[in-house]
Amino acid sequence: MIAVDTNLLIYAHREEMEFHDSASKALGGLIASGKRWGIPWPCLHEFISISTHSRVFDPPSPMKLALGALDAWMAVPNCEMIGEGPGYFSQLKKLAINGKISGPKIHDARIAAICLHNGVKELWTADRDFSRYTSLKTRNPLA
């Protein structure tokens, strides 16, 4: 399974973003491939928070539009929402200790732990901070 990080969802959603076309093509290709892919629940929440934030975008995405984008992705048969479950916390502890995590960096550790816990083989992200989690393969499909 491939998981998709927030930044790629934002790029695909917001047409004015520099990487909009590349992100839309990458996500469209993933959808068309029929391969299992997922969105971690924290990325869904972060997508809503960022895309509708008036200090980030002028104008921000209206809530109905942001939720509609998520509805469309979630309606794709090969898309799964992935989250915590029994055993997740042990994975988070390992990543936090091995990655020397503190403070707000726990957010990315949570996403990485959710991915590993759910058998994700590759996380698509443009965020280099995930490289600290060597047990999770990452790829920037925009590069």
pLDDT tens by residue, 46-77:
999 999 999 999 999 999 999 999 999 999 99
Helices (H), 14-141: 20-33, 41-51, 63-74, 88-98, 106-117
Phi, psi of 93 (to 5 degrees): -60, -45
Q: How far apart are CA 75 and CA 84, in angstroms?
A: 21
Rounded average pLDDT over 5-20:
97
Q: How far apart are CA 51 and CA 32, in angstroms?
A: 25
Q: CB neighbours (10 Å) of residue 135?
A: 13
Q: Residue 76, SS3?
A: coil
CA atoms within 13 A on the CB side of 111: 30
Q: How far apart are CA 81 and CA 107, in angstroms?
A: 17
Rounded average pLDDT over 87-109:
95
Q: Judge: domain 2-139, CATH 3.40.50.1010.
A: yes
Per-residue pLDDT of 111-131, as tens digits, reads: 999 999 999 999 999 999 999
Domain ranges of the chain: 2-139
Using 50, 70 and 90 to split pLDDT, how confident is the model at 105?
very high
Map tokens 């029994």 to a residue: 86
pLDDT value at residue 87? 93
Using 50, 70 and 90 to split pLDDT, how confident is the model at 102?
very high
Q: Average per-residue pLDDT in the chain?
A: 96
